[in-house]
């Protein structure tokens, strides 16, 4: 399941036009609304806010409002595996660059408080990003290739792969360091001589990866749960518990595959809440050996009517 708001899908045609150079580390994009959006770099027919087509005799034209922000997912690390944050960034036609920029900037204070970190080395800079025929080529500086443990190297590669492949126009990612394709990555834990897709970095995933919702999200009467899982018989459980301990949702979840095979899940549950409060989203599966809960992930959200 690739999480992205509807407006992001519209903007994907601009993902191929990204930053070509940088002299300082990329920081998280501002979330302030655009007051004067940049000119789209794709044909106007595919960009929100471009002039509507008119006949040669028309004396008036209409325009669609330009969204103030774009919603996207950023894949950080929780514990030893990937975890997801949602960001709302200023409207841009270069959503791929915005997503990678947010990733290289690292988790913000609220995300760090919820246990998110990053395996991307400090000082990593995005030098360029292009997309062609479903393949993104991301060019990063030498700081990104700093040697680490095999697991940390896999995680930092997976962070970029998952962040870019959330967009339907990207299926695989080519890595470059200072414009050149490395034979191996840092200590050699990851082979970068070919493009990598999600299936190539599954070792960086927890048994249950919740891509939606993410920490800090606000739910209004329904829980849209989606992500990937590799659990016994493809089954696990989800609970949503409000700040007073009331169980709003307690349901089984079935992934499309399991027991040694990765599957996806995408389902929606309704709940009743009279007031908004901090809530805990809990997912876990049961041990095939003794039935005890395992692979538990807890996310703090806000749930309300």
Residue 159: predicted pLDDT: 98
With vertex at residue 178, the alpha carbon angle to CA 12 and CA 24, rounded to the nearest 5 degrees, is: 75
Q: What is the pTM of this model?
A: 0.79
In this model, does residue 237 exceed pLDDT 90? yes
* pLDDT for the residue numbered 116: 98
Region 127-136: mean pLDDT is 98
For residue 194, being part of any structural domain is answered with yes
Tell me which of 168, 186, 204 is where a domain ends: 204
Task: Check whether residue 150 and residue 134 sit in a common domain.
Answer: yes
Quote the pLDDT of residue 34.
29
- The pLDDT tens digits for 248-286 are 999 999 999 999 999 999 999 999 999 999 999 999 999
Q: Are strands 126-132 and 135-140 parallel, antiparallel or unpaired?
A: antiparallel
pLDDT band at 182 (very low <50, low <70, confident <90, very high): confident
* The last residue of a domain, from among 188, 204, 220: 204
Residue range 70-98: mean pLDDT, rounded: 96
Question: 3-state DSSP call for residue 244?
Answer: coil
Is the domain of 18 the same as that of 149?
yes
Q: Are residues 117 and 93 in the same domain?
A: yes
Segment 171-186 shows an average pLDDT of 89
Instruction: Give the strands of the sheet with 135-140, arranged side by side.
Output: 126-132, 135-140, 172-177
Residue 41 lies in a domain: no
Say if CB 154 and CB 189 are below 8 A apart: yes
11-15, 79-83, 178-182 — most confident range = 79-83
The stretch 41-68 carries a mean pLDDT of: 44
| pLDDT confidence of residue 117 | 98
Count of structural domains, the chain:
2
d(CA 295, CA 111): 21
Least confident of 8-22, 100-114, 129-143, 214-228: 8-22
- What does the pLDDT average to over 188-195? 85
Confidence (pLDDT) at 186? 64
Q: Which domain holds residue 190?
A: 6-33+64-204
Compare 65 and 101 and report the one with higher pLDDT. Answer: 101
- For residues 82 and 106, membership in a common domain is answered with yes
Residue pLDDT, tens place only, 1-37: 443 333 333 334 444 444 443 333 333 333 333 223 3
As a whole number, the mean pLDDT across the chain is 83
Q: 183-189 — which CB contacts under 8 Å span 24+ positions?
A: 185/145, 185/153, 185/157, 186/145, 186/146, 186/147, 186/148, 186/153, 187/147, 187/148, 187/149, 187/150, 187/153, 189/149, 189/150, 189/151, 189/153, 189/154
Mean per-residue pLDDT, 217-231: 98
Distance of CA 233 to the CA centre of its chain: 26
- In this structure, the answer to whether residues 188 and 234 fall within a common structural domain is no
């Amino acid at each position: 399941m690739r999480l992205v708001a509807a407006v992001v899908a519209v903007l994907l045609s601009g993902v191929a036009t990204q930053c070509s150079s940088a002299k300082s580390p990329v920081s998280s994009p501002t979330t302030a609304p655009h007051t004067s959006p940049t000119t789209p770099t794709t044909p106007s027919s595919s960009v929100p806010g471009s002039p509507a087509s008119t006949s040669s005799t028309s004396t008036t034209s209409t325009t669609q409002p330009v969204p103030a922000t774009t919603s996207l997912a950023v894949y950080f690390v929780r514990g030893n595996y990937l975890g997801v944050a949602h960001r709302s960034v200023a409207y841009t036609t270069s959503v791929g660059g915005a997503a990678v920029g947010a990733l290289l900037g690292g988790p913000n204070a609220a995300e760090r408080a919820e246990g998110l970190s990053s395996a991307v080395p400090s000082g990593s800079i995005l030098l360029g990003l292009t997309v062609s025929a479903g393949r993104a080529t991301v060019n990063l500086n030498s700081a990104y290739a700093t040697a680490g443990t095999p697991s940390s190297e896999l995680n930092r590669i997976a962070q970029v792969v998952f962040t870019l492949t959330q967009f339907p126009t990207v299926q695989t990612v080519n890595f470059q360091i200072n414009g050149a394709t490395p034979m191996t990555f840092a200590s050699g834990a990851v082979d970068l001589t070919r493009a990598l897709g999600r299936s190539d970095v599954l070792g960086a995933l927890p048994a249950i990866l919740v891509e939606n919702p993410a920490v800090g999200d606000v739910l209004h009467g329904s829980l849209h749960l989606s992500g990937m899982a590799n659990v016994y018989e493809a089954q696990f459980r989800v609970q949503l518990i409000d700040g007073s301990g009331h169980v709003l949702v307690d349901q089984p979840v079935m992934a499309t595959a399991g027991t040694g095979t990765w599957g996806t899940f995408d389902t929606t549950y309704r709940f009743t809440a009279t007031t908004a409060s901090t809530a805990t989203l809990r997912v876990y599966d049961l041990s095939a050996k003794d039935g005890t809960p395992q692979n538990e992930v807890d996310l703090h959200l806000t749930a309300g009517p």
